[in-house]
Amino acid sequence: MIAKGFKGKYFSLAAIVATVSMANLQATASTVMQKEHELAKEKSKEKTAKDESSTIELDNIVVEAEGIKSYELRAGSNYEVYTSKDIENSKSIDLIDFLNRYTSVNISSTYGNIFTPKIDIHGFGLSSGFENVVILIDGKRINNIDLLPPLLSSIPLESVEKIEILKGSGSVIYGDGSTAGVINIKTKPSEGFNYKIFKGNYKTLGTTFSGGISGEGAFGYFYIDSYRSKGFREITADIPESREKKISSLFDITFFPNDDIDFTIQATNSKIKNYYANSLTKDQFEDDPKQEGNPNWAGYTYNYQIIKDRTVSFDLNYKINSNFKINLSHSKTDRFSEYVLSNYISRYDYKQYDLKLNYENGGFDWIFGVSKFDGDRENISNTTSKNSYDYYMNLSNIFEKHKLSLGYRRGKVEYKYDPNNGNDLSDSNSNHSITLGYNYQISNNSSFYANFTRAYQFPDIDRFFSYDFFTNSFVFNNFIDTMITKTYTIGFNKITKDQKLKISAFYIDVKNEIYYNPATYTNTNLDKTEKKGIDLEYRKKINGYLTGNLFYTYLIAKTKEDDIKDYEDKNLPGVAKHNITLSLNFKYNRFYTNISHIYRSSMYALDDFKNSFKQKQKPYNSTDISLGYELKKNFEIFAKMDNIFNYKNGVWIKDDVIYPENCVRRYYIGIKGNF
């Protein structure tokens, strides 16, 4: 069934675009693709001819987060793209460190838990912004069906080939939960044996080992990644010395019997044990942010969580002919989470199924896909599920300097609550996404684009069901609805061999933004909210040895209308107006250094929807430096120091409820290499 208002308004537009595209395709496709290939060849020549001392790539990179491959310059959406060379030059310790310090993404620990960070893009807030961002590892979602943030720490940075951050778009391909955008992480199996070992203060030790081997018609790859640390917070209880502990592994084998087929089997496994201290008052925080937290209702000054995650996936790619490609994928995830002190255990069972058909012919590309997701969470009293079924299509057509894109997705979700007492609850809902994009190539190195995206977020199971204390049972949460966003973006890109400039302005109109109301202890909706701002990305190759990067986001997020009048015309909490990331990379022969600074302006505490708390979150500052020296081609030593000036950073939940974060000086020294 087509949604009300869609059939007349959008379906006719799709028909017009498709008809015009096919009528002009034969006349323009050959010329367009010839120019595209010539541009790619020129870029390849420039890359080869670069001085080896260059520290960042400024090439016109191919992006693929929206399903159809396109050069970065020709994309009709707001993209940030980072290659393996960008990642290597950042000298980050792990993936979370890189995203936090070298991109526009706002990341914070979850009440002190560093392994499952909270994520915000475009002002959906640190409290629950992670629910508005779809995070993909090689095309597989790692988001949860409840309020447990994604396990980003499970992926070693050394295995990452490319990171694409798609802001304000992506909902046609990825559906539910991509209202703010998508973080698409692509890994890179490599041959040989690679290692990284580092030590740091607070008894920190990290190791990564990986290796790959190829044979006739097959390639195998593995990694083992571990991390442990005492952490900088004090906990006087009798607990293990390694309070923050993680180990992850991957085994991957790909078969390619011929040039048209490849089949991949992959298994990943992660285990995390994390003791993290409770909150402090403002006086305690200012006196010593490392001190022990305040006791909770049960008398504990800390939390202890165990997470186990195991995923097995299968991918088949088949090139039917020169125009058609088909992809089949399936993954199964078993996840376990236990808050040990409260004996709260959850077991998750996720199954993902995806079928995609790609067609490429000159300047005309389209993708059609269907997907299915089955998610169950089981605990001591019930099993709750959130299952979805979706189909989508995305079209892209190039007419000389013009590029048009159009996409549509229809999604349906089914909820089921199955308690041990047999009082089942079930419900379903459906919604749709739309994307309209336009790109005009002004010259060989500059372009203008405009984009409109309609997206939706179905409530997760923690918000959709609530506990009725009068009946002593769970019921449907009648205070909550599906969130709808309409995002408008215009932008300008300029990419040359010496600089990359991207600037865009965006406006997001939100209906039924989902949030937790701390005053009434309910999950509900804000009737109407808005987010608007400017994104700026500027990278400059200053000379053969020095490059600089600047990322700046100006952002205003406010409520427009709400039944609770005290919440109208207020700044949304957990959102900084100014976000700045600066870095300088210097490389000469075998020596390199990287200096960076991150700044986020003050913001309202995460629970302060009335903007009435006495305490606001202080500005966030951190200056970091890394040094390295390549002793020989395949071996280097490195050192890194975070928060050089010992800024006291923290996350304010409410008055006198502060979780210290990156508020001490930390250093690391290590070696890395391959053979």
Does pLDDT of 548 surpass 70? yes
Rg of the chain on CA atoms, in Å: 25
197-240 confidence digits (pLDDT tens): 999 999 999 999 999 999 889 999 999 999 999 999 999 999 99
Contact yes or no for 210/156 (Cβ under 8 A):
yes
The pLDDT of residue 72: 87
Contact yes or no for 377/346 (Cβ under 8 A):
yes
Of the candidates 579, 540, 512, the residue with the CA atom closest to the CA atom of residue 105: 579
Helix, strand, coil percentages for the chain (3-state, nearest 5): 15, 55, 30
Give residue 28's pLDDT band: very low, low, confident or very high (50, 70, 90).
very low
Give residue 473's pLDDT band: very low, low, confident or very high (50, 70, 90).
low
149-186 confidence digits (pLDDT tens): 998 888 888 889 999 999 999 999 999 999 999 999 99
Backbone angles phi, psi at 36, to 5 degrees: -60, -45
- The structure's pTM equals 0.89
Does pLDDT of 3 surpass 60? no
The pLDDT of residue 633: 81
Q: Where are the domains positioned within the chain?
A: 6-674
The average pLDDT across 85-114 equals 89
Give residue 469's pLDDT band: very low, low, confident or very high (50, 70, 90).
low
Of the candidates 533, 644, 555, 539, the residue with the CA atom closest to the CA atom of residue 600: 555
Least trusted range by pLDDT, from 155-159, 278-282, 611-615, 659-663: 155-159
Q: Is 41 helix (H, G, I), strand (E, B) or coil?
A: helix
The pLDDT of residue 12: 38
| Mean of the per-residue pLDDT values of the chain | 88
CA distances from 522 to 477, 479, 487 (A): 9, 8, 27
314-373 confidence digits (pLDDT tens): 999 999 999 999 999 999 999 999 999 999 999 999 999 999 999 988 789 999 999 999
DSSP E strand stretches across 518-564: 522-541, 546-561
274-324 confidence digits (pLDDT tens): 999 999 999 999 999 999 999 998 899 999 999 999 999 999 999 999 999
Give residue 191's pLDDT band: very low, low, confident or very high (50, 70, 90).
confident
Q: Distance between the two ends of the chain, CA-based, in angstroms?
A: 57
Tell me the CATH number for domain 6-674: 2.40.170.20
Does pLDDT of 23 surpass 80? no
The pLDDT of residue 562: 86
The encoded tokens of residue 620 equal 């966030």
